[in-house]
Chain A
Amino acid sequence: MSLFFALLFIVAALVMVTGLARKIIQYAKTPAPLKIPTTPAPVNRTGVVLRLFREVVFFESLFKGTKWTWLFGWMFHLGLLLVLLRHLRYFTDPVWLPIQLIQPFGVYAGYAMVIGLVGLLGRRIFVDRVRYISSPSDFLWLVLLIIIGFSGLMMKFIAHTDVVMVKEFFTGLMGLSFGTLPIDFPLMVHLLMVALLMLLFPFSKLLHVPGLFFSPSRNQVDNPREKRHLAPWAKAMEEQRN
């Protein structure tokens, strides 16, 4: 069983990293031939970095768009971030001070994450416009994340698992030595779902994570009159026809 999980996580990590890398390389290689920032847009690089920062950290555009989705979405993602940071204690030894300091918040973050996800699922079910645009996978993502969050919280509050053993397993795995996992039902579910998420990441809408950074309407500097912007293929076309 432990060996199965060990191999599963190695494969999942490889798929996620190479899959994402492939996508990021594809985005980076595809030129943006025209200047299309949604204006008003920053007129220099610093401004663009700040714009992206506000999008990533505060979901600025979403806030303008829909307050409920923003609230639930932001709760979920902030929760997720803190929970992920908290999980670093399973992978590092000694645990870095900042990670130690956020441990108590991590628990609330777990709640926030699940509440946010349930809110998002509610919107998807009850708002007719959002229901219309949803495919089965859109529901399943939320269900998957809720299961991850719920099984995690269960281990914290109901059926404790042996976290020391878990830590040994994962720190060992990072050095490619296969240890043993405690065999608990919630932990099995939790880990299976996380591995599934990692496997699907590069083939799914989770591509919104790299996508945001490559979105021309958000990451371009508004300076088309000052600086000529020319894609390589457009340049080739110019040279050919002129």
Chain B
Amino acid sequence: MAKADFETPELHEFVDVPLLVEDTMAHLSPFVAKPEHNTDLNFPGELVDDWHDKALAKLDDLRGRFRSLQVYLDSCVKCGACTDKCHYFLGTKDPKNMPVGRQDLLRKVYRRYFTFAGKYFPGLVGAKDLTRETLDEWYSYYHQCSQCRRCSVFCPYGIDTAEISMAAREILDSIGYGQKYCNEIIAKLNRVGNNLGLPGPALADTLEGLEEDVEDETGVAVKYPLDVKGADILLVTPSADFFAEPHVDGLIGYGKVFHEAGVSWTISSYASEAANFGMFIGSYENMRRVSLRIRKAALDLGVKRIVFGECGHAWRVAYAFLNTLAGPFDFLDPNYPVPQHILEFTWDQIQKGNLNLDKSANDDKVLTFHDSCNVARATRMGDKPGGQFEIPRNVIKAVCNNYVDMHHETIGERTFCCGGGGGLLTDDLMEIRVKGALPRMTALKNVMEEEGVTHMAAICAICKSQFTKVLPYYGMDMDQIVSIHQLVSNAIILTGQDSDDEEDEEELDEVEA
């Protein structure tokens, strides 16, 4: 899809709630999955002939297995509290991108076939027949939801549109109408072990390269081990960390932290992916199949702990679902939470004083932090509720001198999605990605102008990729996105590092500047 097909919204000081303009995004649908990708996931290859009955049967099945779906379909009172909370609505003005508008696409069919009122008085309660048009509308608008859960924060009943989107995508998959991006990636992971399709030898090469780079730069032999049996920690990280900027700088950082902490660790080539797109397509079975790779890797390698790298939805699956899907993890060291987030690990090391940090290494930057939606609204870090907001900020502040938050309505539990989450990080959905980034871009622009912010740190592979792509649309620079562990990496002075004395350091600074 060409860039010039749509207009990038203009940035103003505030994001005004727009007046509705119907169907502004009705034209946008992602590419449909190829048959072989669907069948690999145990879905029919192509749209089945009796899709109408099959779709209704699936809806009936899901509402019997997921309490969320049943309760959410029934409970909405159309109070409107969620209507202005979705970044995709704010960026597109399309009422079907209002959370309740999106839910109603499924709810009207639920009402028509499964409720007394909808069966006998459809006009009164807005119940509608399931038609081919409805199906295409589902396909279009349920792929314009990043499953960010922002709407669920403000709904008086906690109705989570993400749950509805997931169910809708599962229904579509079950009749052979899957999305190319997600299904292709899951199929690839099932085959190779990661979303990028990097086989073991390529991974080994990459990690060796990293070891050389770090040694050249610091003079210290930091290891980036692969498939090492008997290591203490299994690191599971999004595969983007293996090569793309700024992701890979984060991976370098994890390695340095592990090195200084004096723990042995390893990556697994079999489970070389933290991401789990099974969540995006709402498929418990596929999510479980992907998760079980991590269990197998941990058992095969005989590790004692599992640590996850920086990734948003991956942390949701890891923190909230892994124990359910692939547990129990009674074979791991019970003294540590299973799994742990790399930021929990690093923050612990910082508090213990195990890391020698030179904050001034990041003095060329003024930072702000983007709370990733899945981390913010679906998980926790540490023992206390809200640790997922504090720990990343604590770590940033421990390694940087200059930090400011964005507007309080756009961070923490109210954080705005980057615009690319939930299985939307594909070029065929570029229009919704750019438009959905509007609220975050506005908040960032404001702190850049008012507080002189130069960089935004993120802890999610999808956020990082999405921002790298959309920042230029808004006249900003793709390099403004950094990983938190990239900042940690900059600030760490490794034991025995060359440039320990003052002179060298100044020289280095000058060269870098």
Q: Residue A218 at the B interface, CB < 8 A?
A: yes
Q: Give the distance in Å from the alpha carbon of A161 to the alpha carbon of B98 in the complex.
A: 47
Q: In which size bucket is the chain B interface?
A: 35 or more
- What's the least CB distance linking B345 to chain A, in Å? 14
User: B321 at interface (Cβ–Cβ under 8 A)?
Assistant: yes
Interface residue? B74 (CB, 8 A): yes
In this assembly, does A180 line the interface, its C-beta being within 8 Å of a C-beta of chain B?
Answer: no
Q: Are A30 and B388 in contact (CB under 8 A)?
A: no
Min C-beta distance of A42 to chain B, whole Å: 7
B78 contacts chain A at the CB level, 8 A cutoff: yes
Q: State whether B160 touches A217 (Cβ < 8 A).
A: yes
Bound together, the chains give a CA A209 to CA B85 distance in angstroms of 23
- Could you pull out 29 A-B pairs where Cβ atoms are within 8 angstroms? A27-B67, A30-B63, A32-B67, A36-B378, A39-B413, A40-B413, A43-B380, A55-B156, A65-B85, A65-B154, A65-B156, A66-B79, A129-B80, A129-B95, A130-B79, A133-B80, A135-B124, A205-B75, A207-B75, A211-B72, A212-B75, A217-B152, A217-B158, A222-B380, A224-B324, A225-B319, A227-B323, A234-B324, A237-B285
Residue B452 interfacial (CB < 8 Å): no
Q: A134-B78, A203-B115 are in contact. Are A61 and B158 (CB under 8 A)?
A: yes
Interface check B82, CB cutoff 8 A:
yes
Residues of A with C-beta under 8 A to B378: 36, 38-39
Q: Does A18 contact B (CB under 8 A)?
A: no
Chain A residue, CB-CB nearest to B64: A30
- A136: CB under 8 A from chain B? yes
A207–B115 CA distance with the chains assembled, in angstroms:
12
| Chain B residue nearest in CB terms to A132 | B95
A28 to chain B: closest residue by CB: B67
| Total interface residues in chain A, CB < 8 Å | 63
User: Using Cβ atoms and an 8 Å threshold, which residues of chain B touch A204?
Assistant: 117, 125
Report chain A residues within 8 Å CB of B285: 237
- B268 interfacial by beta-carbon distance below 8 Å: no
Render B337-355 as a binary contact track against A, CB cut-off 8 A, 1 for contact: 1110000000000000000
- Tell which of A23, A36, A43, A61 touches B68, judged by Cβ atoms closer than 8 Å: A36
Q: Is the CB of B323 within 8 A of A30?
A: no
* B508 lies within 8 A of chain A by Cβ: no
Beyond A35-B321, A73-B79, is A40–B71 a contact (Cβ under 8 Å)?
no
Contacts A203-B115, A222-B380 given; indicate if A132 touches B68 (C-beta within 8 A): no
Complex interface: chain B residues within 8 A of A130 (CB): 78-80, 83
A217 touches which of B68, B80, B82 (Cβ 8 Å): B68
Binding site for B on A (CB under 8 A): 23, 26-27, 30-36, 38-43, 55, 59, 61-62, 64-66, 69, 73, 123-124, 127-130, 132-138, 140, 203-205, 207-208, 211-212, 214-218, 222, 224-231, 233-234, 237
Residue B1, interface by CB 8 Å: no
**Neighbouring A residues of B68 by C-beta, 8 Å:** 32, 36, 215-217
* Chain A residues, CB < 8 A from B159: 215, 217
In the complex, which of the residues B75, B284, B327 contacts A33, with contact meaning CB atoms closer than 8 Å? B284
Measured CB to CB, the closest approach of chain A to B283, in angstroms, equals: 12
Residues of chain B within 8 A of A65, CB atoms compared: 81-82, 85, 153-156
CB of A35 to closest CB in B, whole Å: 5
Chain A residues within 8 Å of B293, by CB: none
Chain A residues near B116 (CB, 8 Å)? Answer: 203
CA distance A55 to B123 in the complex (A): 32
CB within 8 A of A41: which of B64, B156, B385? B385
Closest Cβ–Cβ distance, residue B453 to chain A (whole Å): 25
1/0 per residue, CB under 8 A from A, across B380-399: the answer is 10011110110000000000
**Chain A residues with Cβ under 8 A from B388's Cβ?**
39-40
Q: How far is the CB of A234 from chain B (nearest CB, A)?
A: 7
Q: Which residues of A contact B17 (CB under 8 A)?
A: 129
Cβ–Cβ contact A34 & B320, under 8 A = yes
B328 within 8 A of A: yes
